[in-house]
Structure 1
Amino acid sequence: MKNNRALTFLFFISVSLTFVNCRSQEKDSLSYQTEVKTLKGAFEDKFYIGTTLNAWQIMGRQPEELKVATENFNSIVAENIMKSARIQPKEGEFNFELADEFVKIGEENNMHIHGHTLIWHSQAPDWFFVDKDGNTVSKEVLTQRMKDHIHTVVGRYKGRIHSWDVVNEAIEDDGNYRNSKFYQILGEDFIKLAFEFAHEADPEAQLYYNDYSMAMPGKRAGVVRMVEKLEKEGITVNGIGMQGHIGLNHPDIREFEKSLEAYGNLGKVMITELDLSVLPSPWGDAGAEISDNYEYEDKMNPFPNGLPADVEQQFTKRYVEFFELFLKHQDKIERVALWGVNDGNSWKNNWPVRGRTDYPLLFDRENNPKPVVKELIELAAAK
């Protein structure tokens, strides 16, 4: 009789412990789902997940969008306000008002802050390259102007801005150097000088080269060749920024991975300016040459009143495929940053065709997370 009672007692204890363990596992699962409900929570041990702030958001005129940014992302970059033409429109006259506010937002929200960009041909002020009479300046003058600009800007935020796009878009798609004003006056040395000056201004900042169409074999070879040469010359290049202006069918994700691996062999990689256009492309590739513009045609704007369900599914699938790739190579990736907070303020609505309605980001025009956000959070949890 005692043995039967003992067996019954042990059985009861065993069942109870099993029940408690199952409940505990269920509770842990529910707790995880409750705690990890944002992108930054899901990816916090993988890589920084970032977004881009425009001037209106930085000035506080779009508070709901700023709230989306600070609640869902742990890294920020400024879309335009830190480019040289904005921050030093006249020689020696710096405008730091919005840049200061941008950095303040990042610091108050404990965010990784990325600086964009120090040297870029497209939004550089004209005075960089000419004297008071309009004549092209000498190598010495342009070098000094670059040094003054970089030392002033990077020096102001030393220890506060964690990483910089030092040079932006200096390589053509075929791998040759872009024939910009910087290149015409200084040759390829302008890239070396820019990285030298940035490192002098803040030796602890992470310094990046950033460019578009980085999955193209020709550009890949050119960028690798350039960075390897700089490193042989003792120049600090901490990593490569791969602009992520992608579409439903371009670039080939296998080529993107080849580039990610190639750049990862040189240093850290950032996936920058990420957006996924669902609209037809005038040229059919992943280019992002900002000077390219095309006339509006209705056939180029097929979804003015909303995205069909089947296209939304393609959009979600494509984003998930790329984030699967990012997670696969998370040991190489420092940061993945979306180029905008919501669809309404994306540059893709007006480029390369002005006046279109695109849907390239993770939050819709009303600041609601799209279905893809839940998919990405669950994907991160599984990795």
Structure 2
Amino acid sequence: MKKSLSLLFGALCTFSAGAQGLKDVYQDAFLIGTIASNQQLMKPDADTSALFQREFNVLTAENDMKWQRIYPSPQGYNFAAADALMQQAEDCQCQVVGHTLIWHQQTPDWVFEDDAGNPVSREVLLGRMQSHINTLMTRYQDDVYGWDVVNEALNEDGTLRESRWREIIGDDYIAQAFRFATEANPNAELYYNDYNLNAPAKRDGAVRLVKSLLAQGVKVSGIGMQAHYMLRSPAISQIEESITAFASLGVKVMITELDISVLPFPKQAAIGAEISETAAFAEALNPYADGLPTDVQDALATRYRELFALFYKHRDDISRVTFWGTHDGTSWKNNWPVRGRTDYPLLIDRQGQPKPAYEAVATLPASIAQ
């Protein structure tokens, strides 16, 4: 009879002194990243810092380099948390990816409006875009090796999303952002980042977008495939088709924002990562408040192992895998799309200890090599 992964890995579910972290296990394949929340940056704790240092070699700010946080008003920037990220990365010997320069969410209204609240002109908004990109990229040019220049610019059918950036500047706002980023730091890697890129229509839209940019001579270094996945979807085959499609463009592929929710998804919310899509709390949507059953723990471990087997297979094309959270207690999935739930989407539990899913991922390369 097949033993459960929880039983197989049960004796291993604690970090052993001297054992390799994920960054070491995958050092010949791709970088392993995670995010730092504002709490972790402004009030760092020794346990989380130890996890950063042990497991990861890339850090990204969860929210603190988004326009709303770092440039909340015309009165000036607030660099405190971003500066703390650079210090944390130095202390943990991690590289840094900047997230994100241009996004339709978490951008203050004042960016798009004049003093009377009317929309600004194309020229004014382009000026604000260029100034913002230049300010961040020059301030952190020695610390940040890659940037999510434009985030989530596509609809689910692959067409360009309606946003205030597009409304005021026009369809070329994406190309302009990448051009400004190239001017600000010619040595930085520049990425397009989006969710649901496994879906064929959206995948095709991303291919058209990046092909068009490259044809115009615009620098695009890579595509970030946000991986906010479920236990049973999307299909591994769909993810693989997107990896190969993007790699065929000659750009790097990154698996970004990786987490796997074990909770039921409310029908009224669209599966993806559109933060405006939310649903009301219901007990039926929070089935594991008192702990994760063994069979679900096993399913999570199996799912992570299948995903990392795919990533490892395509390690020549994938340059980085970044988890959207360090341990279950820090995950945004506890509060989105339903606030107040208890989710278990990551490899490390709320007590900072490895789950069976961690062991499934950590032992994969060695098992393949045998």
TM-score range (shorter-chain normalised) is over 0.9
1:371 to 352, 356, 362: 356
The reply on whether 1:289 has 2:295 as its aligned counterpart is no
Q: Which runs of 4+ in 1 moved over 6 A?
A: none
In the alignment, structure 1 residue 125 sits paired with structure 2 residue 108: yes
Counterpart in 1 of 2:37? 54
Q: What does the per-residue CA deviation read over 1:204-245, in whole Å, with 9 as the maximum and x for residues that have no partner? A: 110000000110111001110011000010000000000010
Structure number with larger C-alpha Rg: 1
Question: Do the aligned partners of 1:48 and 1:112 also contact (CA within 8 Å) in 2?
Answer: no
CA distance in 2, matches of 1:74, 1:145: 33
User: Gaps (5+ residues) in structure 2?
Assistant: 1-15
Aligned to 2:132: 149
- Identity of aligned pairs, percent? 48
Which residue identity does 1:257 align to in structure 2? Answer: E
The one-letter code matched in structure 2 to 1:312 is: Q
Which of 271, 276, 279 lines up with 2:255 in the alignment? 271
1:343 aligns with 2:328: yes
CA distance in 1, matches of 2:363, 2:225: 25
Residue identity opposite 1:326 in structure 2:
F
1:237 and 2:220 aligned: yes
Structure 2 residue 153 is the aligned partner of structure 1 residue 170: yes
Q: Is the 8 A contact 1:362 1:372 kept in 2?
A: yes
Once the two structures are superposed, the pairs formed by residues 107-122 of structure 1 within 5 Å of their partners are 107-122=90-105
Q: TM-score, normalised by structure 2?
A: 0.92
CA RMSD of aligned residues (A): 1.4
For 2:292, the equivalent position in structure 1 comes to 307
Q: Cα offset for 1:133?
A: 0.4
1:91 counterpart SS class: coil
AA aligned to 2:254 is M
**SS of alignment partner, residue 93 of structure 1:** coil
Matches for 1:134-213 after TM superposition, within 5 Å: 134-213=117-196
**How much has 1:111 moved relative to structure 2?**
1.1
Aligned residue type for 1:271: I
Q: How far apart are residue 110 of structure 1 and its match? A: 2.0
Of stretches 87-96 and 307-316 in structure 1, the one that deviates more from structure 2 is: 87-96
Match of 1:82 in 2: 65
Q: Which residue of 1 aligns with 2:236?
A: 253
Contact 1:57–1:63 (Cα < 8 Å) also in 2: no
The one-letter amino acid paired with 2:266 is P
Report deviation, 1:36. 4.8
Q: Is the 8 A contact 2:304 2:360 kept in 1?
A: no
1:227 maps to 210
Classify 1:293/1:286 alpha carbon distance in 2 versus 1 (closer, same or farther; 3 Å). closer
Residue 34 of structure 1, CA deviation: 8.1
Deviations 1:250-277 (A, max 9, x none): 1111111101111112200110000000
2: distance between equivalents of 1:259 and 1:217? 8
Tell which has more relative contact order, 1 or 2 (C-alpha 8 A, sep 6+).
Answer: 2
Report Cα offsets for 1:277-325 as digits up to 9, x if no partner. 0001124874111100101111111110000000000000000000000
In 1, Cα distance between equivalents of 2:18 and 2:362: 11
Q: Does 1:38 align with 2:21?
A: yes
CA separation in 1, counterparts of 2:192 and 2:170?
17
2:304 aligned residue: 319
Greater alpha carbon shift after TM alignment, 54-63 vs 147-156:
54-63
Aligned partners of 1:212 and 1:115: how far apart in 2?
17
CA contact (8 A) 2:59 2:94 kept: yes
Deviation at 1:92, TM superposition (A): 5.4
Per-residue deviation, 1:105: 1.4
Number of aligned residue pairs: 351
SS at match of 2:144: coil
Task: Give distance in 1, aligned partners of 2:270 and 2:306.
Answer: 18
Q: Offset of 1:37 from its aligned partner?
A: 2.5
What is the alpha-carbon distance in structure 2 between the residues aligned to residue 194 and residue 358 of structure 1?
Answer: 36
State the alpha-carbon separation in 2 of the partners of residues 299 and 108 from structure 1: 43
**1:244, 1:85 → 2: CA distance?**
24
* Conserved? CA contact 1:247–1:286, under 8 Å: no
Q: Normalising to structure 1: TM-score of the pair?
A: 0.89
Secondary structure of 1:193 counterpart: helix
